[in-house]
Structure 1
Amino acid sequence: MSGDSSLATVFVRWTWCRAVLHRGWWAVTSVYLVVDAHLPASELALIGVGQSVAALVFEVPAGMLADTVSRKWSLVISHVLMGTAMLATGLVSEFVPVLATQMLWGLSWNFASGADVAWISDELDEPTAVAAVLLRADQAQLTGTVAGLMSVSGLAWLTDPRSAMMVAGAAMLLLGGYVVARFPERRFRPVRVKRWSASWSILVRGSALVRASRVILGIFAATFMVNGVVNAFGRLYPLRLVDVGLSVDPLLWLGGLGVLVSLAGAAALRLVRPRINGVHTLRRGFVTACTVAAVGVTGLAVAPEGNSGSLAVLLAAGALPLTRTFTTIWINEQTVSAVRATVHSLLAQAKYLGEIACGLAIAAVAHLATMPLALLICGGLLAIAALLVQHTGSPRPEPAS
């Protein structure tokens, strides 16, 4: 793995493989929880809240670990926890055990969130190149999703959902133990002494950078709302489509829908790649993605049958992942190497807080009122996030020293 281009290729290919496994696994799991485990809308939303609570508690400590000990080994830990959670979910079907496995799944992302971006940013050490690689990685994640939906869903159709879920979990463990453990880490310098005080200093510096920037605060606030919608919508739309009626097997229909969503997202990222380093492109991209997603979520709420509902899902689910791409690159450009993983972890804190607060509210509305009303609220949150970012200041502040 010599040379920056080789490292970039390794990073993109690893992202693709991870997406194949976890996106394919989730496509099967989301149907399994509805069709096989028979969990209602309120419990599906509460599972997402529990997952976010676990992630919220450990996110900043995991980011500090990545900034003081190792970005690479944080990723290995993530794979171990993620693969274990994926395996365990295939063995349970009751609400409480499923909640436990999903909380472990949420915890696993703490050790990857920020550490992956920080690792490739340090190893390449070239801001322009990093932005292009991150965009390529998100494209790879979407095309990997297509491969995962076809392979893991196909395996579930040929065998059964539980078997496919456990195979994907075992493969995730192998990916971390064999591939990620061999990543180089040449430019990162771990803290050898006084790690607690160094970790605390990094957290203070990262927090100061966030507080001092109107741009970063605006992104954090928008992330709070958008990810509250992402988590709830991802768990509710399969149930909503089943409720309004699907003409074919739900696993095949939702798998095919996921393929179309991912291909549309990859095409959209390909269009913006030449201009990804401009702050105006990042803002416009985020606002456009939120607006399209708001239309899709609202359309699903009022859809009278499966075909129109699926078209609405295509709009929403195709646009929502793009918001993460734009915010990740935007935040990465606003920070510096010494606190990079921690700032990304603080961004993830905003994400998890949104998933908890908005998830609880959406779960309550779905339980006490109706699912369409809950989806309409999701559409409103996306519209507010778009307006907030549209009016966020553009100058980049001087990084905290």
Structure 2
Amino acid sequence: MSTLETKHVYYIMHMIISLASSIMFTTYAIYYIEELGLNPLQLILIGTAIELTVIIFESVTGVVADTYSRRISIIIATFILGAAFIFEGSIPYLTGSTVVAGVLSAFVLLLIGEFIRGIGETFLSGADQAWLTDEVGEGKVAKIFVRTNQLRLIASLAGIIISVALASIALNLPFIVGGVLYILLGIFLCVFMKEKNFEKVDAAKENPWKAMSATFLSGVSFIKNKPILVMLLVVTVFIGATSEGFDRLWEAHLLETFTFPSIGQLDAVVWFGIIHFVGTLISIGAMEWYQKRFDVNKPKVIRYSLFYFTIAQIVFMIFFALTPYFYLSIFCFWILGIIGSITAPMYQAWLNQQLESKSRATVLSIMGQGNAVGQGLGGPFVGIIATRYYIRTALVLSAILLIPAVVLYGKVIKR
């Protein structure tokens, strides 16, 4: 059987992940709100559940990836995630059972599903980037990350259409289909994913706990001795605090604030599909233009891009929250999508360029924990504000939480 190049396996893996995610999360808010009956605070608490899971397990799974195998860690992740999403999509059937319905609510079942999902996310977080960087080299990852993000966006276009079609039949179907795609991805990776440049820790067989603890301590020491990594860890905390509030509430904000324009027979499901689809097309074009206009492998380009785009992100988040005009709010959302599509791969490349191979997945996992801490601390606070006052107030607060990241990026530029 012919083998695929490392970068092509990475591209396919993330295209399938993006396809599955787009199928599930284009209409997930409507599923959570209308089918499962969640309120704004419960929406945030669902996010908090997965972040607490990440905080607890992230370092452990990152150490496993650095000690034993990034490939095995990634494959485990895909099967766990597939099972979690299929479970979440099956909640309406479970609550329809008199046995389950009498004991567990849809909200509790969703919390269980998110806990399982969180474990899967920790096995994937850091391991995929560490695997790619070791296999192709640090000098090549920036362009691969940018190209991957473009391919992810293209895959998500198909996912949006599929999501709307499935949700029009039943709101839980996108989760079931997305989970099946993750299972199929796991099978694909078992066959085609190779790991040639990973060096397994020698003591992993004789004394696994000692080997894993040594790997973890090596990662922590590496971060402590590099001020730039300490700064990025702090930035990650504030990014997490901001993203949790916005990602969980933007759909609820549109549903609560606006009466969606009446165009033919378009309902909210179709509207969200259109919003995602057009926004994705715009982001693909913006990314292509940006990487042709600027050399995204240069650290200076990355630093200035992150600084100015983060300022723009704060401004457009506030506009999105406060504008009384439906179409202007959608425009702001699309701009925020462009910003995220450009800055995310740049941040990944900049971070990976600072790391050493032996503790790469561990350090990336610790960074993931920082993001989870931000989401875990900021999310419930923002959720309480949204429930007690207004969702738009919570969204403005989410934007303000990003200001410290701008300050830290500015300090790096000055240095």
Q: TM-score, normalised by structure 2?
A: 0.89
Matching residue of 2:146? 135
Matching residue of 1:16? 15
Shift of 1:384: 2.8
Distance between the aligned counterparts of 1:271 and 1:63, measured in 2? 35
Pick closer, same or farther for the CA change 1:321–1:107 going to 2, 3 Å. Answer: farther
Q: Secondary structure in 2 aligned to 1:354?
A: helix
Mapping 1:328-343, distance limit 5 Å:
328-343=348-363
CA contact under 8 A between 1:214 and 1:393: conserved in structure 2?
A: no
Q: Which protein has greater RCO, CA pairs closer than 8 Å, 6+ apart?
A: 2
Mapping 1:41-56, distance limit 5 Å:
41-56=40-55
CA contact under 8 A between 2:32 and 2:38: conserved in structure 1?
A: yes
Matching residue of 1:75? 74
CA contact under 8 A between 1:74 and 1:115: conserved in structure 2?
A: yes
Q: Which whole-Å deviations, capped at 9, do the CAs of 1:119-178 have from their partners, x for residues lacking one?
A: 111121x22212221221122222222221122322322x22222321221121111123
Matching residue of 1:399? none
Distance between the aligned counterparts of 2:13 and 2:296, measured in 1? 22
**Equivalent of residue 186 in structure 2, options 173, 176, 182:** 176
Matching residue of 2:247? 234
Pick closer, same or farther for the CA change 1:394–1:114 going to 2, 3 Å. Answer: farther
Q: Which stretch shifts more, 296-305 or 351-360?
A: 296-305
**Equivalent of residue 158 in structure 2, options 140, 143, 147:** 147
Q: Secondary structure in 2 aligned to 1:38?
A: coil
Q: Secondary structure in 2 aligned to 1:184?
A: coil
Q: Which amino acid aligns with 1:15?
A: H
Matching residue of 1:111? 123
Matching residue of 1:354? 374
Gaps of 5+ in 1: 396-401
CA contact under 8 A between 1:294 and 1:316: conserved in structure 2?
A: no
**Equivalent of residue 364 in structure 1, options 384, 387, 391:** 384
Structure of higher CA gyration radius: 2
Mapping 1:1-400, distance limit 5 Å:
6-92=5-91, 94-124=106-136, 126-157=137-168, 159-191=169-201, 192-245=205-258, 246-247=260-261, 248-273=266-291, 275-392=295-412
Gaps of 5+ in 2: 93-105
CA contact under 8 A between 2:304 and 2:413: conserved in structure 1?
A: no
Q: Which amino acid aligns with 1:214?
A: P
Shift of 1:373: 1.2
Q: TM-score, normalised by structure 1?
A: 0.92
Distance between the aligned counterparts of 2:59 and 2:126, measured in 1? 10
Q: Which stretch shifts more, 107-116 or 225-234?
A: 225-234
CA contact under 8 A between 2:167 and 2:174: conserved in structure 1?
A: yes
Distance between the aligned counterparts of 1:249 and 1:134, measured in 2? 36
CA contact under 8 A between 2:126 and 2:364: conserved in structure 1?
A: yes
Pick closer, same or farther for the CA change 1:143–1:387 going to 2, 3 Å. Answer: farther
Q: Which amino acid aligns with 2:277?
A: V
Distance between the aligned counterparts of 2:84 and 2:329, measured in 1? 31
Pick closer, same or farther for the CA change 1:24–1:287 going to 2, 3 Å. Answer: farther
CA contact under 8 A between 2:142 and 2:345: conserved in structure 1?
A: no
Q: Secondary structure in 1 aligned to 2:125?
A: coil
Shift of 1:57: 0.6
Distance between the aligned counterparts of 2:408 and 2:278, measured in 1? 29
Distance between the aligned counterparts of 1:360 and 1:321, measured in 2? 26
Q: Which stretch shifts more, 135-144 or 80-89?
A: 135-144
Pick closer, same or farther for the CA change 1:271–1:202 going to 2, 3 Å. Answer: farther
Q: Which whole-Å deviations, capped at 9, do the CAs of 1:217-253 have from their partners, x for residues lacking one?
A: 2211111111222122111011100112212411111
CA contact under 8 A between 1:240 and 1:371: conserved in structure 2?
A: yes
Q: Which amino acid aligns with 1:389?
A: Y
Q: Which amino acid aligns with 1:379?
A: A
CA contact under 8 A between 2:318 and 2:399: conserved in structure 1?
A: yes
RMSD across aligned positions (CA): 2.0
Shift of 1:2: 7.6
Distance between the aligned counterparts of 2:309 and 2:113, measured in 1? 31
Q: Secondary structure in 1 aligned to 2:174?
A: helix
Distance between the aligned counterparts of 1:150 and 1:115, measured in 2? 30
Q: Which stretch shifts more, 126-135 or 352-361?
A: 126-135
CA contact under 8 A between 1:230 and 1:320: conserved in structure 2?
A: no
Ranges of 4+ aligned residues in structure 1 off by more than 6 Å: none
**What is the aligned length?**
392
